[in-house]
Amino acid sequence: MSTLLSQPLTSIAAALRRGEVTSLELVEAAIARHEDVGGPLNAYKSWNADEARLQARAADAAFMSGVDLGPLQGLPVSVKDLYGLKGWPTYAGTPRRLPERWEQEGPVVSALRRQLAVAIGKTHTVELAFGGLGVNPHWGTPRNPWDARAHRVPGGSSSGAGVSLLEGSALVALGSDTAGSVRVPASMTGNVGLKTSFGRWSTRHIVPLSQTLDTAGFLARSVADAAYAFSALDPSWGAWPALEAAISEYDLADLRIGIAGPPLWDDCSPGIAEAVRGALDTLAKEGARLKEAPIPEAAAAIELFHVGGVVSAECDAFLEKELPEWRDLIDPIIKIRIADGGAITARELLLRYRRLDELSDSVVGRFGDLDVIACPTVALTPPTVEEVSDLNAYRRANMASLRNTSIVNYLSLCAITIPVGLDRKGMPVGLQLIACHGEEERLLAIGLAMERVLGTPRERLGAAPLIPS
C-alpha cells in the first residue's frame, strides 16, 4: 500500500474508481506512515485517526453506490491550521484555541467536503502566519526531513504542509500565501507549491494575515499532482480532462522563459543559483528560449516588504477587532513585527496601497512576449532552528527567505515553485516561475512540460534522508 501512496494522484484516483483499493486502505497506510515517521517531524497540530477513518468509509460507501463526487474523493489531504474545519480546533499557531467562529468552513474546505476528500489532519503554521521560516515556539517547529543530523526549518508559514507530504500522510496539502507561505515551505522541502492570484480563491474562514495580500493555495508532490488538485479545487475548472487538454498544448519548443535580473539572483547560498540555472539550461537544450528579463518593480516591492506596514497594520487591526485577548500571548518576535504596523499612520498606509497598485500595473509590461519569468524561489539554505534563535539572526533569515516570493504577492502576480536540485548542504532548491494575474493554467501547463524533461521531484532529488524509501 505504501507503494500505491507514492504513485501520481491520477493513478491513485483511477485505482479507487476501479475498486482495486479503498479509501480506508489508503488512509490506513497514511496513518501508518504518520505513526512510523511523523512523531519527530511534528507536521500536525491536530491529528485524529478515527475521524479520518470515518471520512474514508463515507467515501468508500459513495464509490460502492456508484457515486463519484469529484477528483479528490477518498484522497487524504492535510489542512493548514488557519482554515476552519468543522469539528477540529483552530489555533492559527497561537497558544490558545480560537473562538468557534474560526472553525467554520470556507469555500476551499467546502470543495474538499463536497468531493468527500479525507481531511487527514491540521498542519502546523507560524503564529498568525507571520513568518517565512516555519518557527513556532508555542508548539514546536516541524523538522525539515532533508537533514538527518540537524533540525532545520521547513519553511513557513505553512510549516507542516510540506512535511506532511514527505512523510506520506497526505497527498495534497492546503496552505495560504501572503508573501511566500506556500512556496517557501514547498521549496525548502522539495515539493511543488502554487500561489494563486489574489481573489481567485476565496479566503473566507481562513484566519487572515493581510486582507490585501492573502491568497489560498496548496502544495503537492509533483506538478502533475498540482494540476490534478487545481482542477478539483478551482471554481472555474470543474474536471481534470479540461485542464489536461490545456496542458497538452504546451511544448518546450514554444516556451519563452525570462530570466529575472537582480536582486532576485543575488546573495544566494552556495548551490542554489547553480541548480536553478542548470535546470533552465537543460530546458534550453530541449528547445525552450531563454531571455534576460529584468523586473525593476521587484526592487521597489522588496523595499516595501522590508519597511513593512501593510501586512503589519492589517494584522494589528484584525487582532484589535477579533482577538484582542490574544495580544499578550503572542511570541515577542511576532509581536514586534505587528507593533511596527500598528504605529503606521493612515496617510502612510494609503500611500503604500497606492504604490502597490502602481507597481502592479507597471510590471505587466515586463512580460511582453514571455510566457513566464524565472528565478530561484528561496535564496538561502534552510537554517537550523538554533541558527535563528537570536532575534536579529531570525529577522535576517526571514527576510532572505521571503525576498523572491514576496514580490509575487506585492505585484499581484501568480507563481509556482518546482524542485530542481539540491544545494551544497543537500537541501532542496526550488525554481520559481512567475506569471501575470490569473494565469495559473499557464503555469501548470508549463510546469508539466518542464517536469517531463526534468523529472518529478522524487526522480530529480531522490528521497529525503529522514523518510524511509
Catalytic option among 23, 78, 157, 406: 157
- In sequence order, the 6+-apart residues with CB closer than 8 A to the CB of 27 are 52, 53, 55, 56, 76, 118, 120
412 flagged as catalytic = no
Cell numbers found for residue 462: 531522490
Distance, in Å, from the CA atom of 2 to the CA atom of 6, rounded to the nearest integer, reads: 7
Quick check: bond before 263 cis, omega within 30? yes
Q: 422 φ, ψ to 5°?
A: -120, 145
Catalytic option among 158, 181, 210, 231: 181
181 flagged as catalytic = yes
Distance, in Å, from the CA atom of 460 to the CA atom of 456, rounded to the nearest integer, reads: 6
Rg (CA), the chain: 21
Distances (CA, A) of 414 to 209, 221, 375: 18, 19, 14
Nearest-5° angle of CA 40, CA 43, CA 46? 110
Distance, in Å, from the CA atom of 364 to the CA atom of 435, rounded to the nearest integer, reads: 9
Distance, in Å, from the CA atom of 190 to the CA atom of 313, rounded to the nearest integer, reads: 33
80 flagged as catalytic = yes
Catalytic option among 23, 45, 80, 401: 80
Could you list the active site residues? 80, 157, 181
